[in-house]
Amino acid sequence: MRIMVIGGGGREHAIIKKLKENPAAETIYALPGNGGIAADAVCVDIGAKDIPAIVRFADEHDIDYAVVAPDDPLVLGCVDALEDIGVPCFGPRKSAAIIEGSKVFSKNLMKKYGIPTAAYEVFDDPAEALKYLDTAPIPTVVKADGLALGKGVTVAMTREEARGSVKEIMEDRKFGDSGSRVVIEEYLEGPEVSVLSFTDGETIVPMVSSMDHKRALDGDKGPNTGGMGTVAPNPFYTEAVAEECMERIFLPTIRAMKAEGREFRGCLYFGLMVTKDGPKVIEYNCRFGDPETQVVLPLLESDLLTVMRAVTEGRLKDCPVTFRKGAACCVVLASAGYPGSYGKGYEISIPENVLPHVFVAGAALRDGKLVTSGGRVLGVTATADILSDAVCGAYALADTVAFENRFCRRDIGQRALSAQ
Ligand code: AMP
Ligand code: GLY
């Protein structure tokens, strides 16, 4: 089989390594991939948002199957365009990817179908939003409607901060058209849990739960990032919580999407908060999470390609999906300065025996050598029978990887360990 994976980060590297375990995956192309992914796939210099070029490539190279991993191409209709030329895909069509592409859509969906989430108001006029903020309960949360590179959410601890965020989103258009509407919602408290799921629109199979660490610095301090590390499973996702989620959130969501004529096939990601009133949805993503995938897929026992094709073909009900019992931890190594400005082009050294544990996110090849090219450079994942061993293992492996200005959090997994 000739497989094409759209995207070029650590998540895509984890997907590609897992797909490769199936001998039927003869050739894997990554569009665009990156310098590290190049060790496991044929990288092609086509951007993940360049849908006409992606379609042309698929056509010219007789691609048998495509995995569309990032949010942008999914929301732009990459799956629809590939299906139009007969390429089966893993990932939702545009009509279903809107569950991530528009927060107003997803909030209204949850309200209509009684799915637990934070109470909210929607505004398309900045003056109305600012007036509402005069009396809104504080803290409050301001969200741009559309995609904003994960930066469109402000948890405002003061009225002033909330007003500033509305102005940035709606008046300064910091995120372009994504800011033509805002959602202002109730502030919720509780531990956060990420649950990725496989769904073909009828059947939903949650994967092992995980916990992201979004802030840049130890102790959950500093600015928000794309994720500095993850652990799986998440100890706050108890069996009782899992049952409640299946009944009140997961099944109602896929049924709601189907009822709206927007059947979701692919990986549906539930960002949850376990509040004192039970689990509530913080956000939906229409794709695998990054860096959640880097701990979830190493624990997947089943063959990923087989499961993905069952999703695509609507046969998930008959496809066993199993995870192994242990735990996993991924430590992200970044360039100092990230998520602000940082240097690039530093050579990366990774011992040969550590390579299987490494998922490369921001690195390029220069004269055959791997050099840093992004803020988050790579993730290192270890698995073990118990979480404490996975955490120690991930740091032991990560500390063998060297590059100039290397930076990581030293407390990935500590919150999970203290909850056990
Ligand atoms: P997002 O960019 O949608 O992943 O949101 C970023 C972070 O904002 C989430 O991981 C939560 O920590 C926080 N957040 C989002 N919505 C709420 C809410 N209603 N209450 C409290 N925190 C929230
Ligand atoms: N780790 C959060 C996300 O992928 O959106």
pLDDT, tens digit (0-9, with 9 covering 90-100), for 257-271: 999 999 999 999 999
As a whole number, the mean pLDDT across the chain is 96
Over residues 224-240, the mean pLDDT reads: 96
Q: In 114-236, which ranges are continuous DSSP H helix?
A: 126-133, 159-166
Is pLDDT above 90 for 394? yes
Our answer on whether the CB atom of 190 is closer than 6 Å to any ligand 1 atom is: no
2-91: which CATH architecture?
Answer: 3-Layer(aba) Sandwich (3.40)
Using 50, 70 and 90 to split pLDDT, how confident is the model at 179? confident
Q: What angle do CA 119, 120, 122 make, to 5 degrees?
A: 165
Using 50, 70 and 90 to split pLDDT, how confident is the model at 177? confident
Name which residue sits closest to atom 7 of ligand 1, judged by CA.
Answer: 153
Over residues 141-149, the mean pLDDT reads: 91
Our answer on whether the CB atom of 71 is closer than 6 Å to any ligand 2 atom is: no
Mutate to test the pocket of ligand 1, among 154, 155, 169, 188 (most ligand atoms within 8 A of CB): 155
Name which residue sits closest to atom 3 of ligand 2, judged by CA.
Answer: 289
What percentage of the chain's residues is helix, strand, coil (to nearest 5)?
A: 35, 30, 35
Our answer on whether the CB atom of 188 is closer than 6 Å to any ligand 1 atom is: yes
Our answer on whether the CB atom of 290 is closer than 6 Å to any ligand 2 atom is: yes
Is pLDDT above 80 for 420? no
Query: Which helix (H) or strand (E) element contains residue 277?
Result: none
For 112, counting Cβ atoms within 10 Å of its Cβ (0-12 exposed, 13-18 middle, 19+ buried), the class is exposed
327-419: which CATH architecture?
Answer: Alpha-Beta Complex (3.90)
Q: Which residue has the tokens 């006409």?
A: 52
Our answer on whether the CB atom of 285 is closer than 6 Å to any ligand 2 atom is: yes
Residue type at 317?
A: K
Instruction: Say if CB 100 and CB 257 are below 8 A apart.
Output: no
For 120, list phi and psi in degrees, rounded to 5.
Answer: -155, 165
Tell me the CA–centroid distance for residue 216 and ligand 1, in Å.
15
Location of each CATH 3.40.50.20 domain in the chain:
2-91
Query: In this predicted structure, what is the pLDDT of residue 412?
Result: 98
Peptide bond into 116 cis (omega under 30): no
Closest CA to 363 of 385, 329, 334: 334
Tell me the CA–centroid distance for residue 20 and ligand 2, in Å.
24
| Lowest-pLDDT choice from 74-78, 172-176, 245-249, 391-395 | 172-176
| Cα 8 from Cα 327, distance rounded (Å) | 26
| Cα 374 from Cα 344, distance rounded (Å) | 7
| Cα 170 from Cα 167, distance rounded (Å) | 5
Name which residue sits closest to atom 2 of ligand 1, judged by CA.
Answer: 150
Instruction: Say if CB 193 and CB 206 are below 8 A apart.
Output: no
CB atoms within 10 A of CB 418: 8
| Contacts of 131 by beta carbon, 8 Å cutoff, 6+ apart | none
Our answer on whether the CB atom of 289 is closer than 6 Å to any ligand 2 atom is: yes
Give the nearest ligand 1 atom to 283 CA.
Answer: 3
Q: What angle do CA 230, 233, 234 make, to 5 degrees?
A: 75
Proportion of the chain above pLDDT 70, given as a percent: 100
Our answer on whether the CB atom of 153 is closer than 6 Å to any ligand 1 atom is: yes
Rounded to an integer, what is the distance from CA 154 to the centroid of its chain?
19
Tell me the CA–centroid distance for residue 402 and ligand 1, in Å.
33
Instruction: Say if CB 90 and CB 12 are below 8 A apart.
Output: no
| Cα 175 from Cα 179, distance rounded (Å) | 6
**What CATH number should be reported for the domain whose range is 119-186?**
3.30.1490.20
Our answer on whether the CB atom of 155 is closer than 6 Å to any ligand 1 atom is: yes
- In three-state secondary structure terms, 247 is helix
Location of each CATH 3.30.1490.20 domain in the chain:
119-186
Q: Which two tokens stand for residue 2?
A: 């000739």
Mutate to test the pocket of ligand 1, among 120, 121, 147, 153 (most ligand atoms within 8 A of CB): 153
Tell me the CA–centroid distance for residue 291 and ligand 2, in Å.
7
| Lowest-pLDDT choice from 107-116, 218-227, 391-400 | 218-227
Our answer on whether the CB atom of 71 is closer than 6 Å to any ligand 1 atom is: no
Query: In this predicted structure, what is the pLDDT of residue 257?
Result: 98
| Cα 159 from Cα 179, distance rounded (Å) | 19
pLDDT single digits (tens) 180-229: 999 999 999 999 999 999 999 999 999 999 999 999 999 999 988 989 99
Q: Is CATH 3.30.470.20 what the domain over 192-318 is classified as, yes or no?
A: yes
pTM, full prediction: 0.96
Beta bridge partners of 61: none
Q: For the chain, first and last CA: distance in Å?
A: 43
Helical axes 103-113 vs 251-259, angle rounded to 10°: 100
Tell me the CA–centroid distance for residue 155 and ligand 1, in Å.
7
Location of each CATH 3.90.600.10 domain in the chain:
327-419
Our answer on whether the CB atom of 185 is closer than 6 Å to any ligand 1 atom is: yes
Our answer on whether the CB atom of 271 is closer than 6 Å to any ligand 1 atom is: yes
| Cα 210 from Cα 75, distance rounded (Å) | 24
Extract the runs of DSSP E, i.e. beta strands, from 88-147: 89-90, 120-123, 140-144
